[in-house]
């Protein structure tokens, strides 16, 4: 029996690729079972429920099993006990991450947007039937991994396969499905302002200036717009409480590809001066919209380092 399994902390692609590839193996007459290496995230839960799909069983330890790894190959991401298992195959779309095996194995890695893209293309090649549920799942996995076709990792092949899967699944508005999935994942509406600020928060020191930068990604900024005042007030509290000189918050719209930037600072002019070279539109007191600004590391930190001095 082959146990087909994705990475720890599974995402939608890891779960769906395991289901799809186990099915593919079965159609080739090989005994295979899809498994998962951990709890489903909120997005995957939403997808599985929406399409009434069976959730793969949890495999806690791989000792003694024959494994097919999908959607990963880095040792740190592989299920516990894999050293005492036999890894037979790897189907993936990530870089090689240093796994060593005792025997030759089948490895297929293609730089496309999702593992599900690869497996769907194999169903097509073999002219194996893809049922409606499986098509819906594989489409969802592609949408998830490619951030609804926006990620730089998304290829023409992903788009083409997704289109074909959408037809089989009978899903007309693919974008809408993607947005629903990302909303289910972030559950922003249920989070407090403090959680929104601190969930993905990093701290930087420029000379003597301590800056905290938070980021939240959304597919629909209108979800957050009514809460901007509340978020600003909470930023003020956190800044005083934790002794930051400045806090910046990025509310990033991954579909429109831009961010609302909010700040709380000891000196009001810091923000405007530090980001004087960035195209921004004032949206309110301490609120700017910056089109094209998506990356804290590449676009927000460098101007601050430049302004305050490294």
Of 87 and 300, nearer to Mn ion (C-beta) is 87
Q: How far is the CB of 148 from Mn ion (least distance, A)?
A: 14
Minimal distance, residue 117 CB to Mn ion, in Å: 9
Report the candidate in 298, 238, 295, 227 with the shortest Cα–Cα distance to residue 264: 238
Residue 71 touching Mn ion (CB under 5 A): yes
Which residue's CB comes closest to Mn ion? 13
| In the complex, minimum distance from the CB of residue 194 to Mn ion, in angstroms, rounded to a whole number | 29
Q: Tell me if 234 contacts Mn ion by CB under 5 A.
A: no
Using the rule CB under 5 A, is 13 a contact of Mn ion? yes
Q: Does 145 bind Mn ion (CB under 5 A)?
A: yes
Q: Could you tell me if 93 and 71 are in contact, meaning their C-beta atoms sit under 8 angstroms apart?
A: yes
Site string for Mn ion, 240-279 (x = CB under 5 A): ----------------------------------------
CB 137 to Mn ion: min, Å? 13
The residue within the footprint of Mn ion, chosen from 3, 4, 5, 14 (CB under 5 A), is 14
146 binds Mn ion (CB under 5 A): no
| Alpha helix (H) residue ranges in the chain | 12-27, 42-50, 115-126, 132-145, 156-169, 174-186, 193-198, 228-242, 269-274, 301-308
Tokens encoding 146: 């490619």
140 in contact with Mn ion (CB under 5 A)? no
- The window from 38-46, 68-76, 232-240, 271-279 that contacts Mn ion (CB under 5 A) reads 68-76
Considering only 139-147, 169-177, 187-195, 270-278, which stretch makes contact with Mn ion by CB under 5 A? 139-147
User: Total number of residues binding Mn ion (CB under 5 A)?
Assistant: 7
Q: How far apart are CA 247 and CA 266, in angstroms?
A: 9
11 binds Mn ion (CB under 5 A): yes
Compute the least distance from the CB of residue 151 to Mn ion, in Å: 11
Number of other CB atoms surrounding residue 240 within 10 Å: 10
Backbone φ and ψ of 208, nearest 5°? -105, 5
Question: Nearest 10 degrees: CA dihedral of 237, 238, 243, 245?
Answer: -90
Q: How far is the CB of 161 from Mn ion (least distance, A)?
A: 14
Decide: is 158 part of the binding site for Mn ion (CB under 5 A). no
Nearer to Mn ion, 15 or 238 (CB): 15
What mask of x and - would describe binding to Mn ion in positions 97 to 116, judged by CB under 5 A? -----------------xx-
Q: How far is the CB of 92 from Mn ion (least distance, A)?
A: 8
**What's the rounded Cα separation, in Å, for the pair 90 and 17?**
11
Indicate the SS3 state at residue 178: helix
Give the CB-side neighbour count of residue 147, counting CA atoms within 13 A: 12
Pick the stretch among 8-16, 99-107, 120-128, 213-221 that binds Mn ion (CB under 5 A): 8-16
Contact in structure between 32 and 25 (CB atoms under 8 Å): yes
Mapped onto helix, strand or coil, the DSSP state of residue 7 is coil
CA nearest to 249, candidates 266, 228, 270, 268 = 228
Among 13, 35, 14, 308, residue whose Cα is nearest residue 144: 13
Window of 71-79, 127-135, 189-197, 218-226 that interacts with Mn ion by CB under 5 A:
71-79
Interface positions with Mn ion (CB under 5 A): 11, 13-14, 71, 114-115, 145
């Amino acid at each position: 029996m082959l146990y087909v399994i994705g990475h720890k902390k599974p995402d939608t692609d890891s779960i769906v690729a395991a289901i799809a590839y186990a099915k593919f193996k079965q159609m080739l007459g090989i005994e295979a079972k899809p498994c998962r290496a951990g709890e489903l995230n909120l997005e995957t839960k939403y997808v599985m429920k929406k399409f009434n799909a069976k959730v793969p069983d949890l495999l806690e330890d791989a000792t003694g099993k024959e494994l097919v790894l999908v959607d990963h190959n880095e040792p740190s991401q592989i299920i516990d006990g894999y050293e005492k298992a036999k890894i037979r195959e790897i189907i993936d779309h990530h870089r090689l991450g240093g796994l060593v095996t005792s025997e030759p194995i089948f490895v297929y890695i293609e730089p496309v947007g999702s593992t599900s893209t690869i497996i769907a293309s194999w169903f097509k090649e073999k002219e194996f039937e893809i049922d409606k549920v499986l098509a819906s799942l594989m489409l969802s996995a592609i949408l998830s991994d490619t951030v609804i076709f926006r990620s730089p990792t998304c290829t023409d092949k992903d788009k083409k396969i997704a289109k074909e899967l959408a037809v089989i699944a009978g899903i007309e508005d693919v974008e809408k499905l993607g947005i629903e999935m990302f909303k289910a994942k972030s559950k922003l509406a249920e989070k407090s302002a403090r959680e929104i600020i601190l969930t993905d928060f990093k701290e930087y020191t420029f000379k003597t200036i301590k800056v905290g930068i938070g980021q939240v990604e959304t597919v629909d900024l209108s979800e957050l717009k009514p809460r901007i005042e509340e978020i600003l007030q909470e930023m003020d509290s956190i800044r005083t409480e934790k002794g930051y000189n400045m806090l910046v918050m990025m509310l990033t719209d991954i579909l429109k590809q831009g961010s609302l930037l909010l700040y709380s600072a000891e000196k009001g002019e810091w923000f405007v001066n530090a980001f004087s070279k960035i195209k921004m539109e004032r949206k309110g007191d301490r609120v700017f919209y910056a089109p094209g600004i998506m990356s804290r590391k590449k676009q927000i930190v460098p101007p601050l380092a430049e302004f305050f001095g490294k």
